[in-house]
Amino acid sequence: MRIPHISVARLKRIINDFSHSSIMVVGDSMLDEYVWGDVARISPEAPVPVVHVQSRSFRLGGAANVVQNLKSLGVTPHLISLCGDDAMGKALREKLAQTGCPQEGLIQSARRSSTVKTRIMARHQQVVRVDSETVMDLTKDEEAMLWKRFASLLREVRGVIISDYSKGVVSKSFISRILSACRKKGLFVAIDPKERHFDLYRGVSVITPNLKEAHAALGRPYPHVNDPDIEDLGWDIVRKLNVRSLLITLSERGMALFERSSGSYTHLPTVARNVFDVTGAGDTVISVYSAAMTCKAKPIEAAFLANHAAGLTVAEIGTACVTRQSLLAACCGE
User: Catalytic site residues?
Assistant: 283
22-27 and 29-42 strand pairing: unpaired
Neighbours of 274 (CB within 10 A): 8
**Torsion angle of C-alpha atoms 131, 133, 136, 139, degrees rounded to 10:** -160
Edge-to-edge strand ranges of the sheet holding 22-27 = 106-109, 76-84, 22-27, 159-163, 188-192, 206-207, 245-249, 255-259, 264-268
- Count other C-beta atoms under 10 Å from residue 228's C-beta: 11
Which amino acid appears at position 70 of this protein?
L
Rounded Cα–Cα distance for residues 184 and 328 (Å): 34
CA atoms within a 13 Å half-sphere pointing along the CA-CB vector of 37: 14
Burial of 90 per CB tally in 10 Å (0-12, 13-18, 19+): middle
CA distance to 250, 251, 269, 283, 302, per residue, from 307 (Å): 11, 11, 8, 12, 9
Cα 205 from Cα 191, distance rounded (Å): 8
